[in-house]
Structure 1
């Protein structure tokens, strides 16, 4: 009794929608025609902009808009019920969506003046086993939600977690700048996401016992299973290798950081330049210092110390009085100065706009108190006076409170005095009642 209650907690048939309703909904969302294609193209542009300016929020918005997941889920359902015409239709629409996405992102990045690879772009160029897990379990959540009567709110989360849009945009970026490694890495990540979402859909469809559309004999069913298993291996093995490489690189970076901190920084040597090249054989660690100059003997001793930190197969290069080093430093300084110059120019422009509406007359308050003692308090500022869309001019407006209302002569005197202070502007005097 207790076991049956426990099993009920994990029973996917509870809350399940009618199978014909689910299949109808899946089939209706597969096609990329008309509105769906326009939505996809717009989502690709939004995602490309987000990747280009390194905005996570914009990328997430694009993933929520994208209809890319529908044909992938359709393919998973088609495999699960052995509906081969539906499988063909799903794959055809997925290819159309993929081609359109690549084309739109390629055109965007070709036109865009910003070609630097931001962190959001680089994150999609080296997939690993963790991306497989995200795609698989994200796909499970998605298909479970699709088969419920109450769809709930997992679908938006699945769209974000499985991230189909950013890899496609990154692949388009790789094509636009001619970097085939970026293109291949991003496309590989996209294939991982597509296949494992499809696989998780297939598993849930089989588990929920969706009826087969076509009769398939045992031999053909085994053949389909073998093909799926082969694709799993083809996609998983490289991702495991990439995950292992990433782990080793992080371990190596940690060793380098410990080495530099202990051997140099803790001894008061200021590291001016540090560059690690992990992809060469042997690996390279280049360092330069602000003041300290090392003799050949000292360098040799430092190289021996590297082994104590577990750093092997690494060439240590300490750059001293090197023209290349000076060039690198000067280039960095020039880049910094260029960025600062652009920021300074923008700040000056904003200050100039702000100054149009500021009054910088420090003696104004003292003079008003002497000349017009009856004024208790006042406010003064520059306002835009708009007559029509083609006629706008600035006016000095002074609003005052007084113990006794100024006479027309005193008001005229105040107005003339303000005009002397601001000869280029018209003046408006207003008494606050």
Structure 2
């Protein structure tokens, strides 16, 4: 068990690790250019709602450097390293907010996409991700062989996307988005730092300064206070998130059992969770409700665990007409799509043969009928090929010269390179 949990195996020299950490803190030269590019990539990815682009920004972002540096500084009680780490983290944060805000001010597309919304409501799960991701990251930093964890940590403990989301909130005046995204950014920073502190203490890195018990106690107290400041709101947000998901499930269950299972066609549904009272809006294709019937249905909400919620059934003719139109358009689009697929399949086997027989008869008068189609031929290898085939009727079989004439004319008429011609016995 000691060997299983021993982090000293494969550990890099402590002096070398500290040198690497100090070098990764500064945002100058190449690090500054990488930071600026990561900010732009993340902002564009959030703007166009591209998960792949956002992940790319996570991978190239150098923001982990000063955060890990702060964790090391706390662990070895190096006040100069701590000041430098916090200063560079503050500068990079302000640069990130400035550049992303300018981008979202200038871009013509300002709608909040799902990639943005996903970073505006952090909860306890984000705390756990940041903490355990930070543990993996700092363990990798202290290894001789860094291995694969670093890219995964960059993705899991995403720092750049919430920072750019905060910039979006500033640019659009959505202060709730700004606050939520900055809280998520703070959670990631703090718990990566705490995870780093724990690993540094576990690996027994030597203190950079003489530390008395009072100073050590003060550091631990500040870490505890900051941890609680991050965790308590996160627990509340997690509770709200779970409550919201449970409410949506209860509403879906209510609508299914009370209306859809009874054969009612719903053309419009919308659930409002953040209103007081909460609201469920429905509209039906044909069914009409009296006020008493609506109240009866509303009373049934409690049986499904739904409280403090109004049921609103929209029945005004203009609204129903619009909702029905939208639904009919969706159905029409589906029908058109199926029809297009069928037509594409039919085109594989059918020629446009309007007036084919009358035109051919003018060339070869003895023809009594003529048809052309594409036939699917299976070979011994089970592979299929489609070839054009023409079938004609006549009193006597066509001569070789007439057959050749008909074949050449059909190739030109049907725009094919080859065609097989067969005689069908006259009726």
Give the alignment's TM-score, normalised by structure 1.
Answer: 0.75
Moved more, 101-110 or 72-81: 101-110
Q: Identify the residue that residue 227 of structure 2 maps to in structure 1.
A: 232
Match of 2:90 among 68, 84, 95: 95
Q: Identify the residue that residue 210 of structure 2 maps to in structure 1.
A: 215
Distance 1:327 1:219 in 2: 71
Q: Identify the residue that residue 8 of structure 1 maps to in structure 2.
A: 3
Match of 2:29 among 24, 30, 34: 34
Give the alignment's TM-score, normalised by structure 2.
Answer: 0.76
C-alpha spacing 1:288/1:211, structure 2 compared with 1 (3 Å): same
Query: How do 1:383-402 residues align onto structure 2 when only pairs under 5 Å count?
Result: none
SS at match of 2:3: helix
Moved more, 75-84 or 46-55: 46-55
Whether 1:288 and 2:283 are equivalent positions in the alignment is yes
Distance 1:48 1:328 in 2: 36
Match of 1:77 among 72, 76, 81: 72
C-alpha spacing 1:325/1:186, structure 2 compared with 1 (3 Å): farther
Match of 2:297 among 274, 299, 302: 302
1:231-258 CA deviation, whole Å, 9 max, x = no partner? 0000000000000000011111000000
Shift of 1:325: 6.3
Shift of 1:324: 6.0
Q: Identify the residue that residue 276 of structure 1 maps to in structure 2.
A: 271
Distance 1:49 1:255 in 2: 37
CA contact (8 A) 2:279 2:311 kept: yes
Whether 1:188 and 2:186 are equivalent positions in the alignment is no
SS at match of 2:85: helix
C-alpha spacing 1:33/1:254, structure 2 compared with 1 (3 Å): same
Q: Identify the residue that residue 391 of structure 1 maps to in structure 2.
A: none
Distance 1:183 1:150 in 2: 39
Shift of 1:34: 2.0
Whether 1:262 and 2:249 are equivalent positions in the alignment is no
Distance 2:32 2:307 in 1: 53
Unpaired runs of 5+ residues, structure 2, are 334-353, 364-427
C-alpha spacing 1:329/1:122, structure 2 compared with 1 (3 Å): farther
Moved more, 321-330 or 267-276: 321-330
**Matched length:** 342
Q: Identify the residue that residue 153 of structure 1 maps to in structure 2.
A: 148
Distance 1:240 1:215 in 2: 38
Q: Identify the residue that residue 116 of structure 2 maps to in structure 1.
A: 121
Q: Identify the residue that residue 354 of structure 1 maps to in structure 2.
A: none
SS at match of 1:273: strand
C-alpha spacing 1:245/1:87, structure 2 compared with 1 (3 Å): same
Shift of 1:179: 0.1
Moved more, 308-317 or 22-31: 308-317
1:104-147 CA deviation, whole Å, 9 max, x = no partner? 11111111111111111100000000000000000000000000
Superposed CA RMSD in Å reads: 2.7
SS at match of 1:204: helix
Unpaired runs of 5+ residues, structure 1, are 1-5, 341-361, 371-433
Distance 1:168 1:328 in 2: 39
SS at match of 2:110: coil
Match of 2:198 among 191, 203, 210: 203
Q: Identify the residue that residue 311 of structure 2 maps to in structure 1.
A: 316
Whether 1:57 and 2:52 are equivalent positions in the alignment is yes
Distance 2:61 2:306 in 1: 46
Distance 2:229 2:317 in 1: 48
1:289-313 CA deviation, whole Å, 9 max, x = no partner? 1111101221121112111111111
